[in-house]
Structure formats: structure tokens, C-alpha cells
Amino acid sequence: MIGQTNIADDKIPVLVVEDDNLVRRLLKRTLERHGYRAMVVDCAAKAREAWSARDGEFSLVISDVVMPGENGLLLCRALREDRPDLPILIITGFAPAEIVGEGGTIDYPVLPKPFTTAQLVAKIRELLG
């Protein structure tokens, strides 16, 4: 089974893609304490599997960028092709220029690591309206 949580209840489902186990666990706990249903995976390949298994029924995707295998930006572009209105939040410890190179841009909101619980929850609420 992919992920660690069943999203069959009425809580807002969030897909979290983060390769660092500690950060992944903290994100899951934080989201669930604030009323969200978190499905957490450690790489883009598992995120794609979770997306397909749930027919893209996530209300938000939170993704790291630098991970083993496919990076988070490529994953998010693919998910947006499938669902153009999908809210996406990028979390990263890197500066945007380090991720995309000089002159590049990131097409999603970025929450730089480290961030506080309050910053994360505020950004999620902003994205979900």
C-alpha cells in the first residue's frame, strides 16, 4: 500500500512528497493536527502512484524539490498537466536560483525551510482559500 494514511473521510486530503523521514513525519503530524488528511510519500515515483490510485483526488500537494529520482518540480508540472487548478506548495531548503538556475522561475508558491507550523498552516489556508 502506498502512503501511510487512508483518505476516505471528510478531511481535506493532502499529498506530501518529502524524502527526509523526520520532516515527512512532522508534516504529517502537523497537517493532521490542523484537520487535514495527509498521505505522505518519500519520492516522486510513489507520489505518482498515489495520485493514480486516488484518481488525483487530493486538494493540495506539498512537495520538496531535491529528492532521489525525479525532482519535485517535474512531478508538480506533471500533476498540474493532469489537473491545472491543483494547489501546489513547494518546500525547500534551497534558494530558488539554486533549484532552477539563473534566470529560471518556479511556478508555485515556495515555503523555505526551515519554517514554523504557523507559517505552514497559513500558507496552506491561503492556497486552499
Kindly indicate the confidence band of residue 6, based on its pLDDT and cuts at 50, 70 and 90: very low
* Distance (Å, whole) CA 62 – CA 109: 10
Q: Among the CATH numbers 1.10.275.10, 3.40.50.2300, 3.40.190.80, 3.40.50.720, which is that of 12-101+117-128?
A: 3.40.50.2300
pLDDT surpassing 60 at residue 2: no
Percent of the chain at pLDDT exceeding 90: 81
Q: What is the mean pLDDT of the chain?
A: 90
Which residue has better confidence, 68 or 5? 68
DSSP lists the bridge partners of residue 88 as 61
Percent of the chain at pLDDT exceeding 70: 89
Q: Around 28, how many Cα atoms within 13 Å sit in the side-chain half-sphere?
A: 18
* Distance (Å, whole) CA 57 – CA 7: 9
* Distance (Å, whole) CA 42 – CA 24: 8
Give the pLDDT score at 101. Answer: 60
pLDDT surpassing 80 at residue 1: no
What predicted TM-score, i.e. pTM, was given to this entire model? 0.90
Helix (H, G, I), strand (E, B) or coil at 30: helix
Give counts: helices (H), strands (E), the chain: 5, 5
Give the pLDDT score at 27. Answer: 98
Give the pLDDT score at 105. Answer: 73
String of DSSP letters for 62-115 = EE-SS-SSS-HHHHHHHHHHH-TT--EEEEESS-HHHHH-TT---SS-EEESS-
Backbone conformation region of residue 55, classed left if phi is above 0, alpha if psi is from -120 to 50, else beta: left
66-125 tens-digit pLDDT: 999 999 999 999 999 999 999 999 999 988 777 766 556 788 999 999 999 999 999 999
Give the pLDDT score at 76. Answer: 96
